[in-house]
Amino acid sequence: MTTYSSRQEVPEKEKWNLADIYPTLEDWQKDVQYIEQAAENLKKFDGNIHDGKSLLAYLTESEKVSYKFGKVFAYGMLHVDLDTRDTASQSLQDKAKQLGVKVNAATSFFMPFLLGLEESTLKAYMEEEEGLQYFEKDLRDAYRYKAHVLSKEKEEVLSQLGEALSAPSHTYGMLNNADIKFGEVTKDNGEKVELTRGMYAKLIEDTDRNKRKEAYKAYYQPYVHLKNSIASTLGAAIKNNVTVSRLRNYSSALEKALFADNVPKEVYDNLISTTKQNIAPLHKYAEIRKDRLGLDELRQYDLSVPLVEGVEKEISFDEAYETMLNALRPLGEDYINTLASFKDARYIDVRETPGKRSGAYNMGVYGVHPYVLLNHRDNIDGLFTLAHEMGHAMHSHYSHETQPQNTARYSIFVAEVASTVNEVLLINYLLNKETDEKLRQYLLNHFIDKFKGTLFTQVMFGEFEKITHELAEKGESLNEKVFSEVYEKLFREYNGDEIVFDEEVKYGWSRIPHFYRPFYVYKYATGFASAVHIANRILDGDAQTQASYLEFLKSGSSEYPLDLLKKTGVDLTTPEPVENALKQFSELVEEFAKAPTK
């Protein structure tokens, strides 16, 4: 395993080249000065847009500022993430953030102005100024919100209440990130230490059941202790969301959440009902887990430990990249050649070094190229993370190369499709070529657990959000008892009767930050199901799906997410894509069940 004690030790070819954004710091500073001046100029349009010409002038200048700000912000953020301890980099990011506040303040007048226009007036502006056609989709998108925008006075009141309305989420964040102290766990030498989140993630996968149990109890201890306080923050967040949805004339909080992506409520309901109709294989997997672990009873702290031990396969970064390229060949020559070029062009920061941001991500910088941050480990998990993030990078590359700036950024609704298609193609490739039975078992287990976490668990969370918001909409009280009853019932429905419940299980709702960003997690599940559907068709040799999928990657946000997916053969208004994904899950579980355990 390659480890580095400093960034200087990392080979140049495995480090980002940030000079592609700005060759020098002086070039960055020039754009900062430009944006500062341009923000002042944008303010002058407030009250001075009276015709198509002035509207076009504002939109053109605003887009230019947005383009430069994107580069300025990326340059600062990417520098910080390479070494979060570096104060010079922090000052770049701070300056970019301050600039963002200035730009937002300078342009805040525009949306109320636009929605105050009569549609006939906007139409006249469009007809008189040909250049406005470029911005037509943006303008029409904004106009969809007209029925949900209040009078100027009410909008001002809501704006002033913004901080108060977000207080429950902020309070939970402080509790969860700053104040919570986990219980103690025992180190190998017998010493007692306070559990951290990083330790928990490792210990809950430990083969020693006593260690798992101790970590589980210690992790849940503060959540159980604070259950009433956390129920108060979550209840308030849900009620605030319901109240704002009513004030803005939405029929429900769910409808408000789906509005931006133009997704009908049926898609959400269909995801839940189809998943629950096909839940039996997940229950069977719990039975297999109990059997493979040799347990008399299966508990929640037994659900994360890998079922196949001792698989340590070292895969260098170069070998991982080559394996990924081979696995993705069904996507065609252009995809493979483009992806191959990213490695030597230094789009990827590969290695973990002191101070570097943890995890992995892709950031598409419009007008430059994608930047991918990794903390690469030379193992199978590292290979999967690479394939996942390069899926995002290729989505950014194709969309940015094909689309104009205003439709180049893709929606979060479709973001996980490109990354998961790569993972499905990779697992298929590895399973087809792998002859070592133990490694095959490890790969199956890996993919089954990925399926469970990305689809089943997120759908369960989505149903929890739906039920609790509907209770609030009926005027019923929300408290610890209500949340725990709803969560426990759902956990049992999804995970089956094989699991023996510890007291902590029902408090699972208290540790999920996503619940403060309502009706968001379902997108993980729809994206995953869509990707499985697309990847399996491509693997079946469906040339039309392969071609339409590449078009999808080039489409950015040129159409609404459901319309873009329909072009690839995925219609989420029907049960078919989710059913197909769940069918594959069932097949994976069947194959895993049949394999020899020794």
Give the residue numbers marked as catalytic.
389
Which of 79, 74, 13, 67 has its CA nearest to residue 38? 67
Query: Which amino acid is located at 499 in the chain?
Result: I
Residue 499 per-residue DSSP state: B
Spatial neighbors of 32 by CB under 8 A, at least 6 apart, are: 72, 95, 96, 99
82, two tokens: 């390479």
Instruction: Identify the CA nearest to 529 among candidates 464, 577, 583.
Output: 577
Contacts of 506 (CB under 8 A, 6+ apart): 484, 485, 487, 488, 491
- In sign, the C-alpha dihedral spanning 452, 456, 457, 458 is positive
User: In terms of C-beta density within 10 A (0-12 exposed, 13-18 middle, 19 or more buried), how is residue 592 classed?
Assistant: buried
Judge whether 388 and 531 are in contact, CB under 8 Å.
Answer: no
Q: In Å, how far from its chain's centre is CA 104?
A: 24
Of 51, 48, 168, 33, nearest in space to 110 by CA: 48
- What is the Cα–Cα distance from 124 to 51, expressed in whole angstroms? 9
Judging by beta carbons within 10 Å of its beta carbon (0-12, 13-18, 19+), is residue 588 exposed, middle or buried? Answer: buried
Please give the helix or strand (H or E) that residue 549 lies within, else none. helix 543-553
Quickly count: other Cβ atoms within 10 Å of residue 307's Cβ: 18
How far apart CA 464 and CA 486 sit, in angstroms, is 7
Residues 366/306, Cβ–Cβ less than 8 Å: no
Kind and range of the H or E element at 502? Answer: none
Cβ count near 95 (within 10 Å): 16
Measured between its terminal Cα atoms, the distance across the chain in Å is 28
Give the DSSP per-residue string, 368-387: S-EEEE----SSHHHHHHHH
Tell me the Cα Rg of the chain. Answer: 25
- 3-class secondary-structure state, position 363: strand
**Alpha-carbon separation of residue 190 from 185, 209, 487 (angstroms):** 9, 16, 36
β-pairing, 348-349 vs 370-373, is parallel
Which one, of 376, 373, 395, 396, lies nearest residue 384 by Cα?
A: 376
Alpha carbons 107 and 35: distance in angstroms, whole number: 13
Residue closest to 538 by CA, chosen among 428, 443, 448: 428
> By three-state DSSP, how is residue 348 classified?
strand
Query: Coil, strand or helix: which one is 313?
Result: coil
HSE-CB for 246 with a 13 A CA cutoff: 12
User: Which three-class secondary structure state does DSSP give residue 492?
Assistant: helix
Report residue 424 as tokens.
């499905």
Whole-angstrom Cα distance, residue 177 to residue 56? Answer: 45
